[in-house]
Structure 1
Amino acid sequence: MELVPLLCLSLLTLSGSTFADENGAVLVAVEEKSDAILPCSFSSKKNITSMVFDWKKDGHMEVFLYDSGTHYNNGRAGQDEQFKGRVFHFKDELKNGNASIKITNTKMADNGSYTCIFPNQQTSQVTLFVGPDSERFVLTS
């Protein structure tokens, strides 16, 4: 992946730096112990409060599952231990099709590939890089 031309596409967020390449692949880079926002929106931007979306890490680890208001932070079982109590969605943004999540107190173990899945409809990929100096990593990669 060539990140140099992507600098013009960067979005500076409270959670670090977010970059997208020409294929829509997204890289989020944050410093360890900070918060990371992983972006995902339903393509039509319609209200998704009564829909299902599922975030997985590296294809199999359960990060966050939302199903018509039920999710891991309000009684749903099945979330991977690594993410318990650290992953949140933006409830007020569901009406705008926003399925983004925030991972708090990031750890090096959070590095990896994340997939946002709307079953039988669409998926999107986000790569999270957590490091001691995330901006230097992104600018020199």
Structure 2
Amino acid sequence: MVLLRGFELLSSWLLPLLLLSSHAAVRTEEAREPPLVIGSGAPIRAAPGDDTVLPCHLEPKYDVEGLTVEWSKPDLEADPAQRLSRVEYVHLYRDRREVPDMKIRSYLWRTQLFTDDLKDGNISLKLKNVTLADQGTYRCFIPKLKSPVTASIVQLVVAPQSNQSFVGDKPKDAVTLPKPEDHDETDAAGGRLHLIVVIPLVVLLVILVAVAACLFIRKSEKQKYAAASTSPLTA
């Protein structure tokens, strides 16, 4: 009877707490914004022979190491003699590696992703030894991204004596692209971590209090029963 009463007490506290924590977790998950693919709002300029970067990233930051990343050139005219040929890419990243056999021949050995930055949503493409034929519109695309915006456009202008400046391997245009504020992501992650840590502690505390209450009630009833058994009978 005492244990049953203790479990009833525990259930009356634990069930509402679990429901509240589940509701909070669902609301936290819904509050997360879907990542958007963002290119460059301004044309990227380079001179023949330069190395340049076509900037493209996800906002907010999102790990795309396990996703397919496609870079293509939509305005590239197809070869009339090869109308039935398969789709070719400026750069194709699939199954965590580059797929060179589906690449446009003129881009072989001249493109690469910043693979160490894919976990942060950086899908910018480095293009080496730029030629006049490289000028045009480029499209960065993540086909399996669960987002309303899975692709973006980057315009490359190739002209002699380009005044584009670089920071390391990346141009200033790529470095200064608007990116999600680090503190926003940190706050969101901190909130989720807070829920993960606090909820189990509260549940454990409730269980300990319920068990202690059960033991105290049981001990009190045993003492009353012993006192009643040993008390002298009155005439």
TM-score by length of 2: 0.44
Q: Is the 8 A contact 2:75 2:136 kept in 1?
A: no
RMSD: 1.9
Q: Deviations over 1:111-133 (max 9, x none)?
A: 00000001154111100011113
1:133 to 153, 161, 184: 161
Q: Is the 8 A contact 2:113 2:126 kept in 1?
A: yes
Per the alignment, residue 115 of structure 1 pairs with 139
Max Rg structure: 2
* Secondary structure class of the residue paired with 2:57: coil
Per the alignment, residue 56 of structure 2 pairs with 40
CA distance in 2, matches of 1:52, 1:78: 13
Per the alignment, residue 81 of structure 1 pairs with 105
Query: Within 5 Å, which residues of 2 pair with 1:1-141?
Result: 25-59=41-75, 62-72=89-99, 76-119=100-143, 121=147, 122-135=150-163
The 1:59–1:108 alpha-carbon spacing in structure 2 relative to 1, beyond 3 Å, is closer
Unaligned runs of 5+ in 2: 1-39, 77-87, 165-235
Q: How many residues align?
A: 110
Q: Is the 8 A contact 1:59 1:115 kept in 2?
A: no
Unaligned runs of 5+ in 1: 1-23, 137-141
CA distance in 2, matches of 1:39, 1:94: 13
The runs of at least 4 aligned residues of structure 1 exceeding 2 Å deviation read 58-61, 133-136
Flag the structure with higher helix content: 2
* Secondary structure class of the residue paired with 2:138: strand
Flag the structure with higher strand content: 1
